[in-house]
Amino acid sequence: MELNLATLPDYLHRRHEEIRIFEPETQLRIEEIGDGNLNTVYRVSDAARPERSLVLKHAPPYIKILGPDYPLSTERLTYESRALEIYNQLVSGTVPAQYDFDEEGSVIAMEDLRDASVLRDDLISGSVDTAVAEQIGRFMGIVHSQTYVDNVPETTAQHYRQQFANTTMQSITADYVFTFPFTEHETNFWTPGLEPDVQQLKADTGFLQQAVHLKHIFLTAQQGITHGDLHTGSVLVQDNTAKVIDAEFAFYGPVGFDIGLYWANYFLSFFSHQDTSHVQSELKTAIVQTWHTYTAEFKLADSGLKAETLENIFHDAIGFAGLEMLRRLIGAAHVKDIESIVDLSRKISVEKAALQFGTTLVKQHQSLHDIAAVIAML
Ligand SMILES: Nc1ncnc2c1ncn2[C@@H]1O[C@H](COP(=O)(O)OP(=O)(O)OP(=O)(O)O)[C@@H](O)[C@H]1O
Ligand SMILES: [Mg+2]
């Protein structure tokens, strides 16, 4: 079934028993709101009472922006639905409520986070709310610690591994985060002034070894339920409350990957604000606070917590953060925080500094022991 603006009214009518938000005779307004690459996202509201609404996310059997010649399994939405379900059990209020999942049609009907802003846009505008970072730290801390392999019975871990064996999406990340950016690949691009830095990086064997090591961890560590795409575009902020969306990459993996991705996008924001020291200082505080609320949840959840558990998560997170920064500078998918800088010489200077820092994180991730030491390097 191809879901689009023309077929949606009929779909909603057929599915109203399951979705249970609108009466069958309700006059509905439908608009496309998604700005993503993979899927289509719609807002459906009651024409007479627009405050009654929901969001529909549909995964076509291909990559939306590239079209049907680029197939991609619709199973990605099954993983997103499973993640939403478990997030709603563990940390309700931090994700949209899920009203319905139609596996056959690959559609999720969920709570509309009306009037929310995308965290990335808030950071770009220089609005940094430490409470948001704390809430995301808490979200990750609860999900990771309560699904952590050492904290649950083996049968539960086995169940998670099987429910979140999202290998298709995991291998996309393996390619686009860990491999393609550091090889010759047609999807890579960068600002021409960055050429010498990119060549130097690609010839740095110490760096390349660490990238291979981190890729191995990414592909083999099975620690806890990992969102898999928790950058600042996957966080919506509604009434000062952070909400996590877009869990189609969720898998049972190395939990430090979520922290690393999240931090990397704060670091990129940090470099993009190189002329605004008060914003940079707030970003640093937010990064530190994320770790504090994260570790607090781990300590609460696990009385027999081994010292090396959080140490290892931290090392992995720092290495992943470095790779995420680099792929956002020289890989296929860049970030608006930096792409929107119009002054070319300023953009290059931001990119050079971010590239340097990302490289250092990857190379030194095993010897950096706490977040304060990392922040001190900025
Ligand atoms: N529950 C929701 N409430 C309000 N807006 C939402 C909701 N879910 C998604 N959106 C809007 O739709 C956009 C795209 O959603 P989402 O990131 O889930 O789609 P995607 O196609 O998977 O994107 P990507 O290609 O980045 O992976 C979000 O940035 C947000 O603006
Ligand atoms: Mg997505």
Parse the chain into domains and list their residue ranges: 8-111, 117-376
* Residue 343: pLDDT over 80: yes
- Is residue 121 within 6 Å of ligand 1 at its C-beta? no
Cα(245) to centroid of ligand 1, in Å? Answer: 7
The reply to whether 8-111 and 117-376 are identical in fold is: no
Out of 39, 41, 57, 65, give the residue to mutate to test ligand 1, the one with the largest number of ligand atoms within 8 Å of its CB: 41
* Residue 141: pLDDT over 90: yes
Structure tokens, 78: 């099954």
Closest by Cα among 110, 95, 98 to 143? 95
Residues in CB range of 275: below 8 A, 6 or more apart? none
CB atoms near residue 153 (< 10 Å): 8
Residue 318 to residue 201: CA distance in whole angstroms: 18
CATH (residue range 117-376): 3.90.1200.10
**Amino acid letter at 75?**
E
Average pLDDT, the chain: 96
Q: What is the pLDDT of residue 306?
A: 87
Determine the average pLDDT of the residues in 171-191. 97
Residue 307 pLDDT class (50, 70, 90 cuts): confident
* Residue 233: pLDDT over 90: yes
* Residue 301: pLDDT over 90: no
Q: What is the pLDDT of residues 319-332, one digit of tens each?
A: 999 999 999 999 99
CA separation, residue 110 to residues 41, 85, 213, 316 (Å): 11, 11, 38, 33
Residue 354 to residue 360: CA distance in whole angstroms: 10
Residue 194 pLDDT class (50, 70, 90 cuts): very high
Question: 29 forms bridges with which residues in the sheet?
Answer: 45
Percent of the residues in the chain that have a pLDDT greater than 90, as a whole number: 95
Cα(124) to centroid of ligand 2, in Å? Answer: 20
Residue 365 to residue 368: CA distance in whole angstroms: 6
CA triple 143-147-149, angle to 5 deg = 140
State pTM to two decimals.
0.98
Whose tokens are 């300590």? That residue is: 299
Distance of CA 44 to the CA centre of its chain: 25
Out of 33, 72, 112, give the residue to mutate to test ligand 1, the one with the largest number of ligand atoms within 8 Å of its CB: 33
CB atoms near residue 30 (< 10 Å): 17
Cβ contacts of 161-167, under 8 Å, gap ≥ 24: 161/222, 161/252, 163/82, 163/252, 164/79, 164/82, 164/83, 164/225, 164/250, 164/251, 164/252, 165/251, 165/252, 166/75, 166/76, 166/79, 166/228, 166/249, 166/250, 166/251, 167/251
Q: Which residues fall inside 5 Å of ion ligand 2, going by CB? A: 246, 248
Residue 35 pLDDT class (50, 70, 90 cuts): confident
Hey, what CATH class is 8-111 in? alpha beta
Residue 243 to residue 235: CA distance in whole angstroms: 6
Residue 50 to residue 232: CA distance in whole angstroms: 28
* Residue 1: pLDDT over 80: no
CB atoms near residue 50 (< 10 Å): 11
Residue 186 to residue 169: CA distance in whole angstroms: 20
- Is residue 55 within 6 Å of ligand 1 at its C-beta? yes
CA separation, residue 336 to residues 112, 121, 234, 272 (Å): 24, 8, 14, 10
Closest by Cα among 44, 42, 40 to 52? 44
Helix (H) or strand (E) holding 46: strand 40-46
Q: What is the pLDDT of residue 240?
A: 95
Residue 303 pLDDT class (50, 70, 90 cuts): confident
Q: What is the pLDDT of residue 54?
A: 97
Residues in CB range of 20: below 8 A, 6 or more apart? 99, 100
Determine the average pLDDT of the residues in 148-164. 97
* Residue 57: pLDDT over 80: yes
Determine the average pLDDT of the residues in 171-178. 98
Residue 2 pLDDT class (50, 70, 90 cuts): confident
Residue 305 pLDDT class (50, 70, 90 cuts): confident
Residue 136 pLDDT class (50, 70, 90 cuts): very high
